[in-house]
Amino acid sequence: MFDLLLPEHSGSPLYLQIYHLIHEQIRLGKVAAGTRLPSVRALQQQLLISKTPIETAYHMLVAEGYVINKPKSGFYVVDDPEFIQNVVASSPAWRIPLNHTVAGFHDRLPEEGMDWIDFNPTHMDGDSFPLQTWNKMLKEAAQPMAAQLGQYGDSRGEPGLRAAVSEYLAHSRGVLCSPEQVIIGSGMSYSIGILVKLLDGVRRVAFEEPGFDLVRNLLNGYGWETVPIPVKGQGLLVGELSKVPFHAVYVTPSHQFPTGSIMPYSQRVRLLAWAKTAGAYIIEDDYDGEFRYQGKPIPSLQGLDNEGRVIYIGTFSKTLSPALRINYMVVPPSLLHKLSKLHPDQLHAPSRLEQWALERFVREGHWYKHLRKTRNLYRKKHHHLIDLISIHLGKHVHITGLHAGLHLQLSIPRHGTAQELIQLAEKLQVKVYDFRSMWANPPAAPLPVVYLGFAGLPLSVMEEGILRLKKAWFGA
């Protein structure tokens, strides 16, 4: 146990003061590896403040690896003496003694002393993963299936999980399918590989411009021609599809990647009508469709499809964890015959143990509870980041992609390029992204555009990140 003494006069928020005090004691070796930190309640009583800044400071320390949170036990300094020794050895000699913290100290930290703030659009909130429940599901799922541990499972995915996914999609995303139409996979690359085998007659596909470069590169690698179709405020321009014969189109209608636009109902109906007339397939990538923050959810394209023209792809990576590497693809009934013709060696479902655990996780209601929790968490982070941008950068930037997903697009009316803005941000240890690789033919943009993800950042860190961007880009 140790006492913390907050400075009497400081311009920094309480959570930053607490964070720096504990951070410095760990770095200076004054708190040993494995030490249990004071409970939030104890520190609240000691400092006579609310618990929110204490919890925020602790979660910042957890995110940076200095502290771990043991459920039902408390917060502990990481039990890694080598790590502590390394951070002590690398602790800069210029640091101001703790009892001499002054107003503006945080703002005047030299560049080499800062911690990186990464607005990475692919990062999720790792602390929200229900680790204790997941471990319980793994154990309970394996026991009744012990007799099958020596056998390979269904190469299309475990039947129980496919049924659970089918029911969930009908309930949550309006996707109508039987378990036989569901293929459990290990990520987008795997699903695209299967899709190419099922659509062996397809050679030209319309592709969103800008669009997800991983999928474009995969399709090109399989010999498909991807033709860029412009994306505007309402998603892909459906009218452009009639100008060239296409066998398929790839779209992200629920939250266009990367612009953030949402395809309205009328455009979805037009797209489905085009597919029917052209005899083409629609590849609907619903990578983060669970996260919508304004308005009523729009049904998936697959749920509106009466002709069997939509191939629907979703994932558990954005909602549960990228570490699981479990996704799913729903194929229309017309492709089931081709699916049955594929040799089992061409299909490789993920770990049976994890599939059994995930099925139980869904069946017992943990999935829906977790989904509500993460929706609320990401809605809070989404609104908080927008508020911070409006407060600190409002007159300097324009935000798009406001209503769904896990990242925002910023247009910045100033001279220079997105890459120059990224480099300026990096000088203050902030990472933002330009997604230029998402364009097949990058345009000469009238305004530089950058992208900020928010799911992986603690609420407390966001303001510091935006303040650094303001200083980096506008010198204020």
pLDDT at 113 over 80: no
Instruction: Band the pLDDT of 355: cuts 50, 70, 90.
Output: very high
pLDDT for the residue 285? 96
Q: Do 431 and 118 form a contact (C-beta atoms < 8 A)?
A: yes
Q: What is the mean pLDDT of the chain?
A: 85
Assess contact for 299 and 181: CB atoms under 8 A. Answer: no
Q: What is the pLDDT confidence band of residue 334, given thresholds at 50, 70 and 90?
A: very high
Residue 4 carries which side chain, given as an amino acid letter? L
Reading the block at residue 90, the tokens are 């690398």
Task: Give the span between the Cα atoms of 102 and 223, in whole angstroms.
Answer: 62
Q: Which band of pLDDT confidence, cut at 50, 70 and 90, is reported for residue 99?
A: very low
Cβ neighbors of 299 (< 8 A, separation 6 or more) are: 173, 174, 265, 268
- For 268-306, write each residue's pLDDT tens digit: 999 999 999 999 999 999 988 778 776 666 779 999 999
Tokens matching residue 2: 């140790």
Contact predicate 406/453, CB 8 Å:
yes
pLDDT in tens, 12-47: 677 778 888 888 888 777 788 888 888 888 888 788
pLDDT one-digit tens code per residue, 377-402: 999 999 999 999 999 998 889 998 77
Amino acid identity at 326: I
How far is the C-alpha of 378 from the C-alpha of 101, rounded, in Å?
A: 34
| Nearest one of 421, 420, 380, 377 to 397, comparing CA atoms | 421
> DSSP E strands: which ranges in 325-397?
327-330
pTM of this prediction? 0.72
Domains observed in the chain: 14-111 (1.10.10.10), 131-365 (3.40.640.10), 369-474 (3.90.1150.10)
More confident: 73 or 367: 367
Q: How confident is the model at residue 115 (pLDDT cuts 50, 70, 90)?
A: confident
Q: Is the pLDDT of residue 63 over 80?
A: no
Tell me the percentage of the chain whose pLDDT exceeds 90.
52
